Amino acid sequence: MVPTVSAAAAIDAPTFSTVRFRAEREADWIAFDALLTRLEKKGAKGLSSEELLQLPVLYRATLSSLSIARATSLDKALLDHLEALSMRGYFLIYGVRQSRLDRLARFFARDWPLAVQAVWKETLIIVAILLLGGLTSWSLVTSDPQWYYSFVDESMAGGRDPRATVEYLQSTMGHGKAAADEEGGALHVFASFLFTHNSGVSIMSFALGFAFGIPTMMLEFYQGINIGAMVAVFTSKGLGYDFAGWLFIHGTTELFAAALSGAAGLRIGAAVVFPGARSRLQAASDAGRTAGKVMVGVIIMLLIAGLLEGFGRQLITDTVTRYAIGTAMLLFWLAYYYLPRREEAA
Partner 1 sequence: MSAATNARERLARQGKLRQFITPEGVDLELKIASSGLRFGALIVDLGIMLVVLILFSLLIGWLGYSSRSDIFQSIWLLGFFFLRTFWFIGFELGQRAATPGKRLMGIRVVARDGGRLTADAVVARNLIRELEIFLPLMMLGFGAGEDRVSGLTVAAGILWSLTLSLFLLFNKDRMRMGDLIAGTWVVMAQRSKLDQDIAAEADGAATMTFGENELAVYGIYELQELERVLRARDPRAMREVADTIRAKIGRPVAEEDDVFLLAYYRQLKARLERKLLFGKRREDKYASD
CB of 241 to partner 1, least distance (A): 30
Among 51, 154, 182, 286, binds partner 1 (CB under 8 A): 286
CA–CA distance, 285 with 340 (Å, rounded to integer):
26
Among 22, 25, 110, 175, binds partner 1 (CB under 8 A): 22
CA–CA distance, 260 with 295 (Å, rounded to integer):
8
Among 27, 52, 131, 157, binds partner 1 (CB under 8 A): 157
Q: Please, which residue, 228 or 306, has the CB nearer to partner 1?
A: 306
Q: Please, which residue, 268 or 325, has the CB nearer to partner 1?
A: 268
Piece in contact with partner 1 (CB under 8 A), picked from 10-18, 170-178, 243-251, 338-346: 10-18
Q: Please, which residue, 207 or 244, has the CB nearer to partner 1?
A: 207
Instruction: Give pairs for 59-62: CB < 8 Å, separation 24+.
Output: 59/32, 59/86, 59/89, 59/90, 59/93, 61/25, 61/28, 61/32, 62/28, 62/29, 62/32, 62/86, 62/89
Binders of partner 1: how many residues, by CB under 8 A? 85
Q: Please, which residue, 95 or 340, has the CB nearer to partner 1?
A: 95
Contact 133, 225 (CB under 8 A): yes
248 to 277: interface string for partner 1, x by CB under 8 A: --------------------x---------
At residue 229's C-alpha, the angle toward residues 227 and 230, to 5°, is 65
CA 57 to the chain's CA centroid: 36
Our finding on whether 67 is near partner 1 (CB under 8 A) is yes
50-52-56-57 Cα dihedral, nearest 10 degrees: 20
Our finding on whether 301 is near partner 1 (CB under 8 A) is no
Among 29, 221, 222, 256, binds partner 1 (CB under 8 A): 29
163 to 202: interface string for partner 1, x by CB under 8 A: ----------------------xx-xx-xxx-xx--xx--
Our finding on whether 110 is near partner 1 (CB under 8 A) is no
Among 24, 80, 102, 318, binds partner 1 (CB under 8 A): 80
Contact 250, 313 (CB under 8 A): yes
First to last CA, the chain: 40
